[in-house]
Chains A and B, each alone.
Chain A
């Protein structure tokens, strides 16, 4: 490898580390992203042009075409997609990265099959890349709603594990024989893909963000493995950085939900999907109109808004900001309470509210806002459910028992905006709605909030 290319890779690697570091601070995040993107561009250009291979023009044309096609499609998707669809988009892009790693492995296997170490890295790359690709697509489908239900085979843990062992056994067989057999190779590919599907399909409920983060980390590992294969530092370090970043994020998310990674993967959470018959002793609910709510808020001194996925679905981030501004104008102290896993991804709500220019400083995280609910006059829950479910505190049989929640039931009044009485993402009943302090404001978040804003304007 030429010295120039090595220097370019070194610079790119440094930009990755700096970029990731800067991404972790609100003031420098944008710069960090651009720095890393610059480094990536440098690494790509260097790889294409700096080498001592005799490469026919047609190959350059093909590489150029592939880069152009992928860039245009990627750019268009990224620019066109709605902000509310961010989580599934990250999942989709992540799947593409995994697919890329798998394809590289497919090409390289026949050339390196006689070298045990090389063959091992390639085979691991194919398996991990395949799992991330199909797994990410399933996660994408689940998040955008095209795959609604939690599909679970009986004894899925046993089946999944046996299947995984079979895939590994096939891999070991292929490596140990040291012979290139395309049927086995494509069999392995299919094995990885099927395992990815089996792995993500049974996971449902509030656990999807954790899965995406985990798959993201796996793609990094697949990239790093490919880096080992080519003895390529920028791939190795870049991949490992993503791998460890993903693991740390995954653990942070699990902590926020008071769950362990194993229980997410092997699913005790989603096991109790059965909600029938649990709502008989909960009592009755109280309906509120927009004007009731407007009056309550108008005379409140402290209001806390709890945004959830329903806000994102209804695209109500702008109207909620309008509501907040009107209330602030009337001298009401308004804050947003952000549960770490509200929405479908950690930080999802922050991104959404930032889009509508909500001031960063009134977004308060769970630990900081919980002690203040005692002094809160009105809590407005918009499209959130599981993150305010008191069952997490007082019902040991509940699947979300032990998950830290926003203690909204300590406030004087609670108004819950929901489309219907349907259960939340975790599929369980919420006794908060039956609390005597709670009133329900049914309707689409955007429509209901617009009406509320209208009422407040007339006061």
Chain B
């Protein structure tokens, strides 16, 4: 418990950002027509690929002789970018179909 309080004290900005982001997420998503649920889910899924930034950081910090760290980092980058590129491309393809005929 003390350590948690200590962490919050040391990272007060992060804590604020964390909590405010939750509200932003809820507000931004709220009241979305059911039509867009699937593309939205797909787009949000692409965004969760932001974890790739961490994967790149792992590789940048790796010792070139640390084979295990490099392999895991390499895999993490591949999987992360798959999530990003695949996610955005699929969302784009879905939305491409929403043409309004008038």
Contact = CB atoms under 8 A, between A and B. Distances in A.
Interface of A: 16-17, 19-21, 23-26, 29-30, 32-34, 36-37, 40, 43-44, 47-48, 51, 53, 55-56, 58-59, 62-63, 65-67, 69-71, 73-75, 77-79, 81, 83, 86-87, 89-90, 93-94, 96-97, 99-101, 103-104, 106-108, 116-117, 212-213, 216, 219-220, 222-224, 226-246, 248-249, 252-253, 256, 338, 340, 345-348, 350-351, 354-355, 357, 359-360, 363, 365
Contact of B50 (A30, A40, A48, A99): A40
A347 B56 contact: no
A79 B74 CA distance: 24
Given A20-B40, A107-B58, A347-B39, 11 more contacts: A30-B98, A37-B88, A44-B53, A44-B84, A69-B78, A77-B82, A78-B86, A83-B93, A90-B38, A90-B90, A245-B29
Nearest to A358: B101
Nearest to B62: A59
Given A51-B60, A245-B29, A23 B22 contact: no
Majority-rule SS of A interface residues? helix
Nearest to A92: B86
Interface residues of B, number: 83
Nearest to B57: A230
Contacts of A117: 3-4, 6-7
Contacts of B76: 99-100, 103-104, 107
Contacts of A17: 24, 28
Contacts of B53: 43-44, 47, 230, 232, 234-235
Contacts of B50: 16, 40, 43, 223, 227, 234-235, 238-239
Contacts of B21: 224, 236-237, 240-241, 244
Given A241-B25, A346-B38, A236 B14 contact: yes
